[in-house]
Amino acid sequence: MKHEALSAPLTEVEADAVVVGLYAGEPLSGAASRLNEASGGLVADLIESGEVSAKLGDVATLLACPGVRARLALLVGLGERAGLTATAAYQAANGAARKLAERSRSRIACFLAEGWEPRLQEAAVCGLSVGCQGQDLYRSEKKRHPFAQVAWHGVPADVLASGQILGESVNLARRLVNEPPDRMYPAAFAEQARQLDAGGSVQVEVWDEQKLRDERCGCLLGVAQGSDQPPRLVIMRYQGGNPQAPTLALVGKGVTFDSGGLSLKPSEGMQTMKCDMAGAATVLAALQAIARLRLPVNVTGYVGLVENMVSGRSFKLGDVLVARSGKTVEVLNTDAEGRLVLADVLDVAVQQQASRIIDLATLTGACVVALGNDVAGLMSNHQAWCDSVRSAADRCGELAWQLPMFKLYDEQIRSEVADLKNIGEGRWGGAITAGKFLEAFVGTTPWAHIDIAGPAFVEKPRPWTDAGATGAFVRTLVEVARAWPPA
């Protein structure tokens, strides 16, 4: 799908559909008022009678609207002008695309984002791309049909280009997560990393099982040993800055399927566990966007890929694993596997001189209990770094909330047998004890952990997003790289 600039006016443009935004609580303006005039007051009339609403995310289809050549005009609610944030822009465009992509349409003309600031325009272009891709990868009859062309009135070409890159990356993350686990196993994911589409500017290194043994990644290998699918660790390097400049490390949890292992999940909880590699998908997709945007920064992505399964070779409760860092870990629940994988991957990032680290993981159900489905948990050992990650998320309209990392939680993950155990005492504060476990592997490197167990995958569609994978936090990672290095 190609986004391009449009100069033809609303009344003249040749397209299958025109898209026009409506602000709530104020007189018609901009494209909406032009459409109203061209149609002899139709738009005002529909709003007055209550047929059409300007509530954010509401859409209304006008067929054969007088005064325009396009056979369809889509009115999209934007809510109050004062509340027009990046989230609103993204959601409005996503909702419009979801409606228009219900059937095949080749050319859409968008008058939605004229006069907006570039950040909002970019969010809209991204949202529109995302709204055209569904989760129905293997349905014979697709529910969405991407347009061949989207022409935007009043949006500069560079903003269209960056919005398209972001949208394609969000869709890449969504596709990797939505792929079923029989197809997206560790080696298959590594192959996707090799095929990363950034004109060769990202160097990809894949550690196979033998290399992981040579590197003594005992925690990652412990999780992997119950599966017939061998594990991988993928390192993706993008050097947009000079070689001496500090490197941002992005680390992702890539459990391609989490059965829980011998601490087996009930069927219900296991149904969506193909989503447990969303952290890895987010990192891969963000790297692709950062490289395609040619940001002048050095970023390295590290993803740990395993399948957590049940077999005669599975790791057991009571086993003691030796992490790459040398720390010993008593396994008391095989379903707390993500932190084991990340322990070794974080250690690699630290050892390779990461200047600062962000990790992303669908790490705990407890984080969803604490914050709900739409908000990620944010934990850190360095307040200034945490604040810059949080403010990048805010600028993109992605929701993250910081959880405390008080020292007293550390006691909960001490073991009588080994240095650490892989669960806390009881289930309370489970998102934090998981964060505390990770903290034990980053030393003094400034690090922020984003638990995306809630926002990465949604079970029910909303007006502004499909069900399934969301691609949450791809945009935030790109925004962090845009603001790199932090002050």
CA 23 and chain centroid, separation: 28
Q: Letter for the amino acid at 92? A: A
294 is catalytic: no
Orientation angle between helical segments 118-131 and 86-100, nearest 10 degrees? 30
120 binds, among ligand BES, Mn ion, Zn ion, none (CB under 5 to 8 A by kind): none
Residue 129 touches ligand BES, criterion: CB under 6 A: no
Please give the angle made by the CA atoms of 408, 412 and 417, to the nearest 5 degrees.
130
φ, ψ of residue 53 in degrees (nearest 5): -120, 155
Residue whose beta carbon is closest to Zn ion:
258
Distance (Å, whole) CA 91 – CA 131: 9
Nearer to Mn ion, 258 or 347 (CB): 258
Read off the tokens for 116.
């907006």
Determine, following the binding rule CB under 5 A, whether residue 258 of this chain makes contact with Mn ion: yes
Please provide the DSSP assignment of 251-269 as one string: EEEEEEEE--TTSPPPHHH
Tell me which of 335, 359, 398, 439 binds Mn ion, using CB under 5 A. 335
Interaction of residue 402 with ligand BES, rule CB under 6 A = no
Closest contact distance (angstroms) between CB of 253 and Mn ion is 10
Element spanning 307, H or E:
strand 298-308
Q: In whole angstroms, give the CA distance from residue 240 to residue 238.
A: 6
Name the residue nearer to Zn ion (CB basis): 162 or 334.
Answer: 334
**Minimum distance of Mn ion from residue 207's CB (angstroms):** 22
Using the rule CB under 6 A, is 423 a contact of ligand BES?
yes
User: Using the rule CB under 5 A, is 466 a contact of Zn ion?
Assistant: no
Three-class secondary structure of residue 45 per DSSP: helix
Nearest C-alpha neighbor of 173 from the set 71, 89, 289, 62: 289
Annotated active-site residue in 265, 327, 462, 482: 265
- Of 427, 223, 426, residue with least CA distance to 329: 223
**Nearest residue relative to Mn ion (C-beta):** 335
Minimum CB distance to Mn ion, residue 333 (Å) = 8
Q: Interface residues for ligand BES in 201-220 (CB under 6 A)?
A: none
**Among residues 258, 330, 344, 359, the one that binds Zn ion under rule CB under 5 A:** 258
Part of the chain binding Zn ion (CB under 5 A), chosen from 197-205, 281-289, 334-342, 408-416: 334-342
List the one residue from 108, 336, 343, 370 that touches ligand BES (CB under 6 A). Answer: 336
CB nearer to ligand BES: give 291 or 418: 418
* Residue 412 binds to ligand BES (criterion: CB under 6 A): no
Q: What is the DSSP string of 129-174?
A: HHHT--S-TT-SS-S----SEEEEET--HHHHHHHHHHHHHHHHHH
- Residue 208: exposure state from Cβ atoms within 10 A (0-12, 13-18, ≥19): middle
Q: How far apart are CA 312 and CA 300, in angstroms?
A: 36
Q: Which two tokens stand for residue 3?
A: 């986004």
Known active-site residue 339: yes
The span of 45-53, 84-92, 253-261, 439-447 binding Mn ion (CB under 5 A) equals 253-261
Tokens of 278: 């969303």
Shortest distance in whole angstroms from residue 253 CB to ligand BES: 8
Q: Which residues of 457-467 are buried (b: 16+ CB within 10 A; e: fewer)?
A: bbeeeebbbbe
User: What string marks each residue from 337 to 376 as x (binds ligand BES by CB under 6 A) or -?
Assistant: xx-----------------------xxxxx-x--------
Q: Of these residues, 339, 356, 390, 475, which one is catalytic? A: 339
What x-and-dash track marks residues 256-295 binding ligand BES by CB under 6 A? --x-----------------x-------------------
Catalytic residues: 265, 339
Binding site for ligand BES (CB under 6 A): 258, 276, 333, 335-338, 362-366, 368, 423, 430, 453
Binding site for Mn ion (CB under 5 A): 258, 335, 337
